[in-house]
Amino acid sequence: MLAALDPAAGPILADAERQGIAFVRRLFEEWQSGSNRFERPGEIIFGAWQGEGLVGLGGLNRDPYTAEEGVGRLRHIYVLGSHRHLGVGTLLVRDLLRHAESHFRTVRLRAASPDSAAFYRRLGFAACDDPAATHLIRVPPIA
Ligand SMILES: CC(C)(COP(=O)(O)OP(=O)(O)OC[C@H]1O[C@@H](n2cnc3c(N)ncnc32)[C@H](O)[C@@H]1OP(=O)(O)O)[C@@H](O)C(=O)NCCC(=O)NCCS
């Protein structure tokens, strides 16, 4: 799946580097080294496209920071600076959570900044007190 995003990822990589956000490059390095290819049970990576252009991406891993079963982890959610506040990030997270419903009971993440923490709270995530995560949500979400 990431192989499909790779040729289109140039603008996203450049945008993230300009903003000093390292995790997009790490995502592709880890895919190339084979250390994280989002291919274990329940894992997936999604891209958001506008025509031929990749404008956002985000992944779901089994959470590597816990031995507990049924815990997923959102990874590397990134939307091009020029395409933020249009709902792209919300679509990515909603699709990832929908996918998670069949595989995990809880999805956690570590918010990269206070801004992204506000974004996840708005999507229904609760803050959590864990060294490995800042937010979590039960899937399917409790209304
Ligand atoms: C966080 C991020 C993925 C949000 O993507 P997005 O496409 O802009 O999100 P949406 O348009 O769906 O945002 C929905 C709402 O989330 C909140 N939100 C999003 N970005 C926000 C920000 N920078 N500050 C405060 N609230 C924000 C707002 O309530 C926003 O509604 P609004 O657009 O009406 O203001 C995007 O800003 C991003 O890629 N940031 C850099 C990388 C990053 O921090 N990723 C998260 C890693 S944990």
Cβ–Cβ < 8 Å for 45, 6: no
pLDDT digits (tens, 9 = 90+) for 105-142: 999 999 989 999 999 999 999 999 999 999 999 998 65
CA of 89 to the centre of ligand 1 (A): 6
As a CATH number, domain 2-138 is 3.40.630.30
Non-local (6+) Cβ contacts of 70 within 8 A are 104, 105, 106
CA of 115 to the centre of ligand 1 (A): 7
The predicted model gives 81-94 an average pLDDT of 97
pLDDT digits (tens, 9 = 90+) for 52-81: 899 999 999 999 999 999 999 999 999 999
* Structural domain boundaries in the chain: 2-138
Q: Whose CA is nearest to atom 42 of ligand 1?
A: 78
